[in-house]
A and B are shown apart, each in its own frame.
Chain A
Amino acid sequence: GAVVSQHPSWVICKSGTSVKIECRSLDFQATTMFWYRQFPKQSLMLMATSNEGSKATYEQGVEKDKFLINHASLTLSTLTVTSAHPEDSSFYICSASGQAVAGSYNEQFFGPGTRLTVL
């Protein structure tokens, strides 16, 4: 299957700093990338959907100015958590899918996640 990587796998930062997380599709062109957040012992919550070359679409309740998403190429999307606070501590997971084919399911391939801890 297709491989998606995330970097870093974990990060610890001080409150008020910004953190950038990268999501890369290693062996396919990702037309669409998705960013999820998962708190301990909870499910994945979709934060935003990004299409290459256009602005991300954020889910209700997700602050677009706090969680900056850039999808500048077909293999890379970045999520920047600006002015991070302890409540932003979470597991951030990205997924990527390629060009949709009409009538076929467009599978999402998930990255291994990034553990963010804000002190």
Chain B
Amino acid sequence: SQQGEEDPQALSIQEGENATMNCSYKTSINNLQWYRQNSGRGLVHLILIRSNEREKHSGRLRVTLDTSKKSSSLLITASRAADTASYFCATDRAAGNKLTFGGGTRVLVKP
């Protein structure tokens, strides 16, 4: 079963705007990761945040993690048309290496 739920399911923005998406999960985790998937392609790993971290940055990406609320957010700043993709969060449960994926957010960045 899917542990992570993401919102919004779809997001449409203009180039240059910021895009924010959220992920919630149900059980304790070791790490939370965000992935990007272009249509019909494999996954691209974006960023990993550990359960003892609260915020992490990578280029135009900013990820936050609130373990008390069991939620995470991914912010893409100054979006570009090339950021158009689906974004998934995935949790790594404390008991092992299995990843459980959220439902995903489809982001459309209009030029």
Contact = CB atoms under 8 A, between A and B. Distances in A.
Given A34-B98, A105-B31, A108-B97, A43 B40 contact: no
A44 B42 contact: no
Contacts of B104: 42-43
- Which of B31, B35, B88, B98 is most buried by chain A, counting CB atoms within 10 A of its CB? B98
Contact of A112 (B41, B45, B99, B100): B41
B98 A46 contact: yes
A63 B100 CA distance: 19
Interface in B25-67: 30-31, 35, 40-43, 45, 48, 50
7 contacts: A43-B101, A43-B103, A45-B101, A106-B97, A110-B43, A112-B42, A113-B40
A1 B102 CA distance: 24
Interface of B: 2, 30-31, 35, 40-43, 45, 48, 50, 88, 92, 97-104, 106
B98 A49 contact: yes
Contacts, number: 49
Contact of A113 (B30, B41, B50): B41
A1 B43 CA distance: 13
A46 B99 contact: yes
A101 to B, nearest CB: 11
Dominant secondary structure at the B interface: strand
Interface of A: 1, 32, 34, 41-46, 49, 91, 93, 95, 97, 100, 105-108, 110-113, 115
A115 B40 contact: yes
A34 to B, nearest CB: 7
Contacts of A45: 2, 101
A97 B45 CA distance: 14
A44 B31 CA distance: 18
Contacts of B48: 105, 107
A106 B48 CA distance: 12
